Structure 1
Amino acid sequence: MVDVHALATTLDEAARDVRAIPKLTERTPFDVAAAYAVQRAGIERRRRRGERLAGVKMGFTSRAKMVQMGVDDVIWGLLTDRMLAESSVDVSRLIHPRVEPEIAYLIGREVRSAAEAESAVAGVAVGYEVLDSRYADFKFTLPDVIADNASAARFGVGAWHPPRDLSNVGLLLEIDGRPVQTGSSAAILGDPARSLRAAARLALGAGMKLEPGWIVLAGAATAAVPLPKDAHVRVTGAGLGSVEVTT
């Protein structure tokens, strides 16, 4: 039997202590179903400390990443209000942070089926996600990363815009004014709307629904890059403006 709460506690304490740990599966093998149970237990620990659910983040949204990890579906994690960065991220509270550009959706009403996910969108924006695996060297198996809430750490979004076609939005990630990644939203499953529908499907499968006010981060449009201290980060999306953060 897998002790879900013990594994969740190990990950939670690693994050709070800013301490990298070995992969959980090295000593306790477990499958994907158990991994999501660990993820939910970890989120419940955060909720008991006063955090509120704020949305969903999607992972493995590129075909190349799916092949690399040997999977045929995306993964997901949960966002809380304390993960939302207003204007700065304290990287001293993170183990080995990385940043990537994102497409963000604002949910306007409860989503009862994957088919109605797009019609429930109240706004779209350019965003970023700061990843921070709790595992040493940022290396993990599929169950490990799911248990670790899909490496979620921090996120931010720019100004919200009315819903529109986001199937091929050019994205630019700059650090200290220097372009470090460029890409297109088409890298997100060919169209980030597919990732949005997958978020609704996975949430419903877990007995949850995308809620009004939640944010869905559709997935990475480029590779993530290390996020250094004392840096200025800007992500720009064609027609969506930009979002900035300092560390």
Structure 2
Amino acid sequence: MVDVDMLAERLDKAARDALPVAKLTERTPFDVATAYAVQRAGIERRRRRGELLAGVKMGFTSRAKMAQMGVDDVIWGLLTDAMLTESAVDVSELIHPRVEPEIAYLIGREVRSAAAVESAVTGVAVGFEVLDSRYRDFKFTLPDVIADNASAARFGFGAWHAPHDVSNIGLLMEIDGRPVQTGSSAAILGDPARSLRAAARLALGAGLKLEPGWIVLAGAATAAVPLPKGAHVRVTGAGLGSVEVTT
């Protein structure tokens, strides 16, 4: 039997102490279903400390990443209000942070089915996600990364725009004014809307409804890059403006 609470505590402590741990599966092999149970147990620990659920983040939203990890579906994690970043990220609280550009969706009403999620969206924005695997050397198996809440750490977004087609918009990420990644939102499953629908499907399958005010991060449009201390990051999306954060 896998001790789900013990594994969740190990990851939670690693995040709170900003100290990496060995992959959980090195000592305790477990499957994907158990990994999501560990993820939820970790989120419940955060909720008991007063954090509120704020949305869903998607992972493995590129076909290349799916092939690399040997999976045929995306993975997902949960966002809390404590992860939301207005203007600055304290990277000393993280282990080995990386940042990536995102498309963010704002949910305007409760979502009861995956088919209804697009009509429930009231805003779309350019965003960023700061990833921070709690595992040593940022190395993990599929169950490990799911248990670790899909490496979620921090996130932010720019001004909201009325929902519209963002299936193929250009994205630019700069650090200290230097371009570090360029790409298209089409890299997100061919269209971020597919990731949005997957978020609703997976959340509903786990007994969660997307709530008004929640954010869905559709997934990375480019590879993540290391996020150093003392940096200024700007992510720009064609027609969506930009979002900035400092460390």
TM-score by length of 2: 1.00
Q: Deviation string for 1:67-119 (max 9, x for gaps)?
A: 00000000000000000001000000000000000000000001111101100
Whole-Å separation in 2 of the counterparts to 1:49 and 1:157: 25
Residues 1:183 and 2:183 are matched in the alignment: yes
Match of residue 221 from structure 1: 221
Whole-Å separation in 1 of the counterparts to 2:226 and 2:77: 21
Whole-Å separation in 2 of the counterparts to 1:116 and 1:97: 34
Which secondary structure state, in structure 2, belongs to the residue aligned with residue 117 of structure 1? helix
Which secondary structure state, in structure 2, belongs to the residue aligned with residue 19 of structure 1? coil
Whole-Å separation in 1 of the counterparts to 2:196 and 2:229: 32
Q: How does 1:187-202 map to 2 (within 5 A)?
A: 187-202=187-202
Match of residue 234 from structure 1: 234
Match of residue 205 from structure 2: 205
Q: Which runs of 5+ in 2 are unaligned?
A: none
Match of residue 35 from structure 1: 35
Match of residue 82 from structure 1: 82
Which secondary structure state, in structure 1, belongs to the residue aligned with residue 223 of structure 2? coil
Whole-Å separation in 1 of the counterparts to 2:48 and 2:197: 29
Q: What percent of counterpart residues are identical?
A: 88
Residues 1:141 and 2:129 are matched in the alignment: no
Match of residue 91 from structure 1: 91
Whole-Å separation in 2 of the counterparts to 1:21 and 1:40: 19
Which secondary structure state, in structure 2, belongs to the residue aligned with residue 88 of structure 1? coil
The alignment yields a C-alpha RMSD, in angstroms, of: 0.3
Which secondary structure state, in structure 1, belongs to the residue aligned with residue 89 of structure 2? coil
Which secondary structure state, in structure 2, belongs to the residue aligned with residue 124 of structure 1? strand
Match of residue 21 from structure 2: 21
Shift of 1:169: 0.8
Shift of 1:10: 0.2
Shift of 1:31: 0.2
Shift of 1:41: 0.2
Whole-Å separation in 1 of the counterparts to 2:168 and 2:19: 38
Shift of 1:16: 0.3
Q: Deviation string for 1:192-221 (max 9, x for gaps)?
A: 000000000000000011100000000000
Shift of 1:155: 0.2
Question: What amino acid is the match of 1:225?
Answer: V
Question: What amino acid is the match of 2:159?
Answer: A
Which secondary structure state, in structure 1, belongs to the residue aligned with residue 207 of structure 2? coil
Question: What amino acid is the match of 2:95?
Answer: I
Residues 1:49 and 2:49 are matched in the alignment: yes
Question: What amino acid is the match of 1:133?
Answer: S
Shift of 1:52: 0.1
Residues 1:246 and 2:246 are matched in the alignment: yes
Give aligned pairs, total: 247
Match of residue 10 from structure 1: 10
Whole-Å separation in 2 of the counterparts to 1:109 and 1:156: 21
Question: What amino acid is the match of 2:50?
Answer: G
